[in-house]
C-alpha cells in the first residue's frame, strides 16, 4: 500500500553538446552523463550544467559530416576507464576517458543495429545488418556468430509424451471445439515498428533475449540464448507483439507489449517462451505506441516510454506527438500506475533516451532532443491520515492511475487491490496529501498531472445516503461516509502554451499546512539551489475552481530531500541531501519568510549523520526535535542514532510506534 514520492528532481537546461543527441549512458563513479549524438560523444555534468568533455567522431570518419550518422549503442566501462560506442555504419569504438584517445576495435561491413553489454560487462552482443549475432568478450575477442532467426525452437524444446491424438485429449474449459480450432495466423508487425532488434539481459548475465522481425511472417519473435550463444527457446506465436523488450533483472519475466483488437497490453514471457501474465495500459487501442520498457535495477518499478500515434490525415509538420513516461509497480498480483509524467508535444522537448541508474534503483535519467537533462529520485512512502482520536478513520491512500484507492482501517481491513472506496480523478494522480489538523484528518488533497489539486472533505454529520459506500460481503455489512469534492485548485504555471515543452513534476514534496495553503519545493535558478514557496489562493471565486499562486519564495543553497510539518507548533523542518536540518521561519509583519540552521537547546547545529528519507517533528522534554529514518533502517533523534534496525515509525503524543526487521 505504498506510493512513489519524488524526493528530488534535477533539470539542466544550459547543456549543449555536439549535434543532435541520440542515446544515453551514465558514469556512476563521477555522476556525469555520456551522450552519443550524430556527430560524436559528449560528457555532461548535470550538477554544474557544464560540458566536461566532448570528442568528435567525424574527424576520424566514424560518422559522416552531413549529420546522417547514428550511434546505435553507448556504454560506460569503468574497469577499462573507457566508453564503448557502436555506430550504424559498423564501427565499434573505444574512447579512453583519461587520455581522450579513440580506438576502433572492430568493424562490421553490413553495419550494426544494436549493442548490449552483459550486466557484469564481461560480454558484449552486437546485432548486425545481416541479422546475425556477434558475441565477444570484454577484450573484443570473438566467441561466436550465429543467425538471429533459427528454425529450431532451442535446447528447451518441449517434449511430447504421445498421449493420444489431439482430438481425444482433454481441453478443459475450452471444450471439444478447441481440438478442431485452426491456429490464428500471426500478423505482421505494426507500421511504426522501427524494425531494429532489441537485446535484453537477465540480471545475472547468464541469459539474454532478442526480439526481432521474423523474415517469414513479418511479426516480432523473441528468442532466449545462453551465455555461450546457444539458443534456448523461442516464444509461442503472439499476434500484435511490438518492439519493446526488457528482461526483469530478478530473472522471472521478460516484458513486452501486445496490441489486441480492443486493448493495448504489457505482456510477460517466461524464459521458455510461454506467456505468463499481462496488464492493460490506460489508453485506447490505437492511441499510443510504446517506444521502450525499462525495469529498474531491483525489479520493483517498470518504466514505460510512450508516444501518441498520429492519425492518417495528420502530416508530420502539423503537430508533434505527445510523450509520456509511466511508472508501474505490482502488488498482490495487481499492477498499479504510480506516476505519470507528461512531456508535451514541443519538438525540442521530445525524449530521445531514458534509463534507470545502475546503482541507485529509484533514480531515473531522461534526455530530451534540445539537450535538456532531467533526473528524478523516487522513494517509497505510505500516505495516511494523521488523526489522534476515534474521529480519524485511519485512512491509507493508494495511487492507481487516475484513481485513489482509500482503505479506512477503522472500519474494515481488506487486502489490496480491494479498498473501502475509490476516488475518480480527471487525470493521472502524482501525489496524495492528508490534512494535518487532527479534527479534519480525514480530508485529503490530490495532485494530478494537469497541475490541479482536488480537495475532498468528509461530512461532519456522517454524510447523506448518496455519499455513503456499503462495504462487506454476505456477513457483516456497514456504510462508510465517502468524502465529497469541495474545491479544485489550479496551480498557476508558465507552461500553459500547447507548443511549449513541459517539465513534469516541477513542484515536489507538496505539503498541506492550512485550509487554503500548501508548501512546495522546486529547483532554483541553478541546479544546486532549492526554492521553498507557499501556494496560496489570491481571491475567492464563485466557481468551484480557484487559482493557487506561488508566494514568499525562499532560496536554499543545496538540495532539499525532505520536508515535515508539525501542526501543533506550526514548525517546518527541511533536510538537505547532506543531512543538514534547516528551520523555516514564517513571514511575520514586515519580516519576510526565511530559513535558518536548526539548533539544539545548547546551540549545536543539527545534522543527520546520513540522509534520511522519512522525517518527523516531536517534542521531548520540552525541546522540539527532528526524527529521521534512512533507507538502511538507521533511526536518528536529532544527530543521535537510536536504532539501526527500524523500518518505519509513527509519532504519537505519548509515545513512538515503530517496526523492525
550 lies in which domain range? 382-459+477-558
* Per-residue pLDDT at 307: 93
* pLDDT mean across residues, the chain: 87
Cβ neighbours of residue 134 closer than 8 Å, sequence gap 6 or more: 108, 125, 126, 127, 128, 142, 144, 145
Domain presence at residue 266:
yes
Q: Residue 317, SS3?
A: coil
17 with 96, same domain? yes
**Phi, psi dihedrals of residue 360, rounded to the nearest 5°:** -95, 105
| pLDDT one-digit tens code per residue, 347-393 | 888 999 999 999 999 999 999 999 999 999 999 999 998 877 778 88
83 with 56, same domain? yes
| pLDDT one-digit tens code per residue, 491-525 | 887 555 444 567 888 999 999 999 889 999 999 88
Domain presence at residue 34:
yes
16 with 129, same domain? yes
Can you tell me the mean pLDDT for 28-35?
A: 90
As to burial, measured by CB atoms within 10 angstroms (0-12 exposed, 13-18 middle, 19+ buried), residue 381 is middle
**What band does 464 get if pLDDT is binned at 50, 70 and 90?**
very low
Q: Which residue has the higher pLDDT, 154 or 134?
A: 134
Q: Is the pLDDT of residue 550 over 50?
A: yes
**What band does 197 get if pLDDT is binned at 50, 70 and 90?**
very high
Which of 535, 558, 581 terminates a domain? The answer is: 558
Can you tell me the mean pLDDT for 583-609?
A: 88
Task: Residue 312: give its domain's CATH number.
Answer: 2.130.10.10
* Per-residue pLDDT at 475: 55
Number of domains in the chain: 3
207 with 345, same domain? yes
* Per-residue pLDDT at 133: 94
Q: Is the pLDDT of residue 579 over 50?
A: yes
141 with 7, same domain? yes
Q: Is the pLDDT of residue 459 over 80?
A: no
Domain presence at residue 161:
no
Can you tell me the mean pLDDT for 181-202?
A: 81
Q: In whole angstroms, give the CA distance from residue 255 to residue 240.
A: 14
Name the percent of the chain lying above pLDDT 90. 56
Considering only CA atoms, which of 91, 18, 23 is closest in space to residue 60? 91
Q: Is the pLDDT of residue 315 over 60?
A: no
Domain presence at residue 263:
yes
Which of 558, 585, 617 terminates a domain? The answer is: 558
252 with 390, same domain? no
Q: Is the pLDDT of residue 480 over 80?
A: no
Can you tell me the mean pLDDT for 210-226?
A: 90
Can you tell me the mean pLDDT for 253-266?
A: 92
* Per-residue pLDDT at 498: 44
Give the number of residues written for the chain.
Answer: 661
552 with 411, same domain? yes
| pLDDT one-digit tens code per residue, 408-420 | 888 888 888 888 8
Domain presence at residue 171:
no
Q: Is the pLDDT of residue 611 over 90?
A: yes
95 with 22, same domain? yes
* Per-residue pLDDT at 321: 87
Domain presence at residue 585:
yes
Q: Is the pLDDT of residue 398 over 90?
A: yes
Q: Is the pLDDT of residue 465 over 50?
A: no
What is the separation of C-alpha 351 from the centre of its chain, rounded to a whole number of angstroms? 14
592 with 648, same domain? yes
Is the bond preceding 211 in cis, omega lying within 30 degrees of 0?
no
Domain presence at residue 610:
yes
| pLDDT one-digit tens code per residue, 95-132 | 998 888 899 999 999 999 999 999 999 999 999 999 99
| pLDDT one-digit tens code per residue, 408-451 | 888 888 888 888 889 999 999 999 999 988 888 889 999 999 99
304 with 440, same domain? no
Cβ neighbours of residue 143 closer than 8 Å, sequence gap 6 or more: 123, 135, 136, 137, 228, 229
Cβ neighbours of residue 538 closer than 8 Å, sequence gap 6 or more: 547, 549
579 with 601, same domain? yes
Can you tell me the mean pLDDT for 331-358?
A: 92
Are β-strands 484-491 and 545-557 bridged in parallel, bridged antiparallel, or unpaired? parallel
Which of 558, 582, 612 terminates a domain? The answer is: 558
* Per-residue pLDDT at 192: 84
Q: Which helix (H) or strand (E) holds 656?
A: strand 656-660
Asked if 605 contacts 633 with a C-beta cutoff of 8 angstroms, the reply is no
278 with 309, same domain? yes
Amino acid at each position: 500500500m505504498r506510493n512513489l514520492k519524488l524526493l528530488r528532481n534535477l533539470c539542466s537546461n544550459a547543456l549543449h553538446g555536439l549535434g543532435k543527441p541520440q542515446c544515453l549512458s551514465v558514469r556512476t563513479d563521477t555522476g556525469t552523463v555520456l551522450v552519443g549524438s550524430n556527430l560524436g560523444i559528449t560528457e555532461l555534468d548535470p550538477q554544474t550544467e557544464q560540458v566536461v568533455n566532448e570528442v568528435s567522431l567525424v574527424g576520424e570518419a566514424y560518422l559522416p559530416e552531413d549529420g546522417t550518422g547514428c550511434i546505435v549503442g553507448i556504454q560506460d566501462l569503468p574497469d577499462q576507464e573507457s566508453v564503448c560506442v557502436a555506430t550504424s555504419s559498423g564501427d565499434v569504438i573505444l574512447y579512453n576517458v583519461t587520455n581522450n584517445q579513440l580506438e576502433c576495435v572492430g568493424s562490421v561491413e553490413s553495419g550494426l543495429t544494436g549493442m548490449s553489454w552483459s550486466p557484469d560487462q564481461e560480454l558484449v552482443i552486437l546485432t548486425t545488418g545481416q541479422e546475425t549475432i556477434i558475441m565477444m568478450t570484454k577484450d573484443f575477442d570473438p566467441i561466436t556468430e550465429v543467425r538471429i532467426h533459427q528454425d529450431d525452437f532451442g535446447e528447451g524444446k518441449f517434449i511430447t509424451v504421445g498421449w493420444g491424438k489431439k482430438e481425444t485429449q482433454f481441453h478443459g474449459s475450452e471444450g471439444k471445439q478447441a481440438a478442431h480450432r485452426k491456429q490464428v495466423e500471426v500478423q505482421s508487425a505494426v507500421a511504426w515498428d522501427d524494425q531494429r532488434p532489441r537485446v535484453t539481459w537477465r540480471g545475472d548475465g547468464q541469459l539474454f533475449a532478442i526480439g526481432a522481425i521474423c523474415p517469414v511472417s513479418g511479426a516480432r519473435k523473441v528468442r532466449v540464448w545462453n551465455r555461450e550463444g546457444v539458443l534456448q527457446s523461442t516464444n509461442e506465436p503472439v499476434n500484435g507483439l511490438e518492439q519493446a523488450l526488457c528482461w526483469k533483472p530478478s530473472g522471472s519475466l521478460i516484458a513486452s507489449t501486445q496490441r489486441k483488437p480492443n486493448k493495448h497490453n504489457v505482456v510477460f514471457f517466461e524464459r521458455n517462451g510461454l506467456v505468463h501474465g499481462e496488464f492493460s495500459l490506460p489508453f485506447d487501442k490505437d492511441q499510443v505506441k510504446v517506444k521502450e520498457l525499462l525495469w529498474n535495477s531491483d525489479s520493483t518499478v517498470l518504466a514505460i516510454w510512450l508516444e501518441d500515434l498520429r492519425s492518417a490525415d495528420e502530416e508530420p509538420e502539423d503537430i508533434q506527438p505527445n510523450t509520456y513516461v509511466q511508472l508501474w509497480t505490482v502488488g498482490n498480483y495487481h499492477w498499479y500506475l504510480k506516476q505519470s509524467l507528461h512531456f508535451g508535444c514541443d519538438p525540442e522537448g521530445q525524449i530521445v533516451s531514458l534509463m534507470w541508474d545502475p546503482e541507485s534503483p529509484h533514480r531515473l535519467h531522461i534526455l530530451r532532443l534540445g539537450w535538456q537533462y532531467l533526473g528524478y529520485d523516487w522513494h517509497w512512502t505510505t500516505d495516511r491520515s494523521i488523526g489522534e482520536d476515534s474521529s480519524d478513520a485511519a485512512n491509507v491512500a493508494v495511487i492507481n492511475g487516475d484513481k485513489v484507492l482509500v482503505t479506512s482501517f477503522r472500519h474494515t481491513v481488506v487486502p489490496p487491490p480491494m479498498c473501502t472506496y475509490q476516488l475518480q480523478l480527471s487525470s493521472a494522480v502524482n501525489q496524495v496529501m492528508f490534512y494535518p489538523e487532527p479534527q479534519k484528518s480525514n480530508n485529503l488533497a490530490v495532485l494530478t498531472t494537469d497541475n490541479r489539486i482536488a480537495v475532498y472533505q468528509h461530512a461532519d454529520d456522517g454524510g447523506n445516503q448518496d455519499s455513503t459506500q456499503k462495504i462487506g460481503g454476505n456477513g457483516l455489512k456497514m456504510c462508510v461516509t465517502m468524502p465529497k469534492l469541495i474545491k479544485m485548485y489550479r496551480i498557476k504555471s508558465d507552461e500553459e502554451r500547447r507548443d511549449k515543452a513541459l517539465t513534469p513534476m516541477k513542484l515536489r514534496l507538496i505539503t498541506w499546512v492550512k485550509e487554503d495553503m500548501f508548501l512546495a519545493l522546486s529547483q532554483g535558478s541553478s541546479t544546486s539551489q532549492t526554492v521553498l514557496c507557499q501556494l496560496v489562493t489570491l481571491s475567492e471565486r464563485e466557481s468551484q475552481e480557484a487559482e493557487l499562486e506561488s508566494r514568499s519564495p525562499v532560496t536554499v543553497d543545496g538540495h532539499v530531500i525532505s520536508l515535515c510539518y508539525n501542526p501543533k507548533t506550526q514548525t517546518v523542518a527541511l533536510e538537505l541531501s547532506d543531512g543538514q536540518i534547516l528551520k523555516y521561519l514564517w513571514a511575520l509583519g514586515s519580516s519576510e519568510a526565511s530559513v535558518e540552521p536548526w539548533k539544539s537547546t545548547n546551540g549545536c547545529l543539527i545534522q543527520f549523520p546520513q540522509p534520511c528519507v522519512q522525517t518527523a517533528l516531536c517534542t521531548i522534554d520540552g525541546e522540539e526535535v527532528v526524527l529521521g529514518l534512512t533507507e538502511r533502517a538507521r533511526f536518528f533523534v536529532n544527530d543521535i542514532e537510536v536504532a539501526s534496525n527500524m523500518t518505519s515509525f509513527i509519532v504519537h503524543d505519548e509515545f513512538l510506534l515503530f517496526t523492525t526487521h
